[in-house]
Amino acid sequence: MSSYFFLEAEKKAKNASLIDALKDYSESNQTLVYVLDRPLTDQKYSYKYSDALIVLSSKKKITIIDYGNNKNKYKDFVEDIIEDIGSISDKYLYKDVVGRPRIWRKSLLETDLSINEIGDINQLFDSISLSDEADNKKLDLLISLFIGSINNIDRVKEEVPTTTLDKVKQKIQLFDGDQTRFIYQNPDKKKIRIQGLSGTGKTELLLHKLKDLYINDSKSKIFLTCHNKILANNLQKRIPDFFNFMKVEQQIEWNSRLWCTNAWGSNSYPNSGAYRFLCAFYKIPFYKYSYQMSFSKACQLAINDIKEKYSDGIPPALTYMFIDESQDFDDAFFELCDLVTEKNIYIAGDIFQSIFDENISSTIEPDFLLGKCYRTDPKTLMFAHGLGMGLFEKTKLRWLEEKEWKDCGYNVEIKDSKYHLSREPLKRFEDLDENFESLRIVEIERNFSDTVIQTITEIVKENETVKPEDIGIILLDSTRDIYELADIVEVKIQKEFGWNVNKAYETKEKQPDTLLISNRNNVKGLEFPFVICVTKRITDSPSYRNSLYTMLTRSFIKSYFVTQPSHKSGITEDMYEGLKHIVSHKEMVIQEPSKKEKETIQTRFKYSLKKLSHFDLMMEIFKELKVDKKYQDTLMQATQQMDMIESDQSTLKEFVKDNLKYIKGK
């Protein structure tokens, strides 16, 4: 299946050659082409003529091609399509931007072609090309109405944007072939897995699928869950907004038909978590977190209790389940979900959430593999991968083989034991200068807080429409003094810009009209036009390197990597050269490690991520650092409060050493 081509029409002898030619064109030109027999957005419309194809592609007129023998029915079909798209346009408030059908049909629609008149596909697309920017914007909006990729018209706006920020913010998003298939393809299995890099649109697709099931299966009970609390809160707020702009007329029946929480929950409130809800539904014991009770163990106990209690047949608690950020869970939670769900479970995960996962290409093949990251400029993504995996260093920290690179969306060419890794350009950035700066390394001059303020000042100066919520500041280090830095930066931001600041590690949520400051544990699922990542020094900790990769790719315009001068920060000349080559050549060129080096890499990161429980890891650290027993419980609780349960040994060790000084000093 191609991400560039989507077909939702019956392939027949009369149209097969044309469909094949359109597919070949889309792939060879890396251009999205949709071939439909009707609009997909609203299933209430029906059509009596079935011998026509609707061909959609950006910067090309909407083209309806007749391959039948009934001109009158074809003419009625065209008029019905125009009328229905006009109605859908009115429903989603597009009409003020695209105009009435009698206006756009003159310049944006081609209907006078029969299949016999089409010879060369390249000539066809040349003949229907558009060059006017305003027309192309209207066209993309119309295409979005055909395929259901509805854009918030308040964000897109009527004017053709001129600034970089507004060009990217207002870019009309269209589903690619893989994304469209996920939404409209009916599953033939219970578990449907969707995988892709962070920023490939997985969460957005889940919301579309959730909306369709909520509307079309009126008696369904649906649960959307994830591991992270701040992401769950964000999703719970997004659902009503999403339903509103998708014009869903049904009211959301929270906690009776639809739930959206994190996975665990608390004992005091049955609807506070997916696991907690299931314990209440089946009237089985609920286990809260303790040093000896992991989430996986709690799920396994729930499975055993449910099977034992309902040996004659388990009543389903839910009709559908949606699991976001599935890489945060293990098999016990998926088995529990399978046990209690009647119909389908949609599982969305990041193929590359941890760059130190043993298996990037899972042994369980996903049903939908999304290779294109639509959030982040490819240059930023490549450098973040290179920096996170140590690819610019003599001793690499991680290596992927050819298939794994391809599964992560890379084009791979191997020459003389060197991997040439590149990514396809994105439509989101096509209106910008291809050499626009999407990532910058910023070395501090005096101190971190002043440099952060200078960076914000630069962003504001270059982007006159920027808002506080467009900027995220992420503190990558685990030491206590990052929170002192956050306090200083908060005061300076309020003084310099008059903006409110949201410390996400305290609020556990994203707030409107505020600039977000966070540690690296509370930004999952969030994105910003501009991200400022702050660190004293690059370390080799797998947890740190993975956070470095994920945090740098939270931006969809530009990431600033703020650190000390290179002799203190660990930023090497090879890293600078790697970034320079990515910017100028749009590729990474990496020497393949030798067989012996690969074995060393494999052994090193396997050992660093050995599967000990959080409790056992902490006890090892206490023993190594000779931490007095009277301090151990306080330090354990501190790691829980700072969402460090999933952190690796080196990160936890650094945290303990830093906080032990603070505790002893009290």
pLDDT bin (cut points 50, 70, 90) of residue 645 is: low
Most confident range, picked from 28-32, 356-360, 425-429? 28-32
Instruction: Give the pLDDT of residue 638.
Output: 82
- 179-370: CATH, from 3.40.50.300, 1.20.1260.10, 3.30.2140.20, 3.40.50.2300: 3.40.50.300
Tell me the pLDDT tens digit for each residue of 248-291: 888 999 999 999 999 999 999 999 999 999 999 999 999 988 76
pLDDT at 607 over 50: no
* Ranges assigned E (strand) in 108-163: 109-114
Degrees, nearest 5: CA angle 240-245-251: 45
Quickly list DSSP for 170-233. Answer: TPPP---HHHHHHHHSPPSSSEEEEEE-TTSSHHHHHHHHHHHHHHHSTT--EEEEES-HHHHH
Tell me the pLDDT tens digit for each residue of 118-176: 889 999 999 999 999 889 999 999 999 999 998 878 777 767 677 788 888 778 788 88
Tell me the pLDDT tens digit for each residue of 34-56: 999 999 987 778 899 999 999 99
- For residue 116, the 8-state DSSP code is G
What pTM did the predictor assign? 0.72
Taking CA atoms, 650 is separated from 5, 55, 384, in Å, by: 45, 55, 21
Instruction: Give the pLDDT of residue 460.
Output: 95
For the chain, which residues make up each domain, given as ranges? 5-160, 179-370, 378-598, 610-665
pLDDT bin (cut points 50, 70, 90) of residue 90 is: very high
What's the number of CA atoms in the CB half-sphere (13 Å) around residue 344? 17
pLDDT bin (cut points 50, 70, 90) of residue 1 is: low
Quickly list DSSP for 586-623. Answer: SEEEEEPPPHHHHHHHHHHHHHHT----HHHHHHHHHH
Q: In whole angstroms, what is the distance from residue 459 CA to residue 448 CA?
A: 17
pLDDT at 313 over 50: yes
Tell me the pLDDT tens digit for each residue of 357-411: 655 555 457 788 787 777 888 999 999 999 999 999 998 988 988 988 988 889 9
Q: In whole angstroms, what is the distance from residue 585 CA to residue 378 CA?
A: 12
- CATH fold match for the domains 179-370 and 378-598: yes
Taking the domain 378-598, which CATH number applies? 3.40.50.300
pLDDT bin (cut points 50, 70, 90) of residue 513 is: very high
How many C-beta atoms lie closer than 10 Å to residue 32's C-beta? 22
Instruction: Give the pLDDT of residue 609.
Output: 47
Tell me the pLDDT tens digit for each residue of 555-574: 989 999 999 998 899 999 99
Q: Give the ranges where 264-330 is alpha helix by DSSP (H).
A: 274-282, 295-309
Most confident range, picked from 27-31, 299-303, 651-655? 299-303
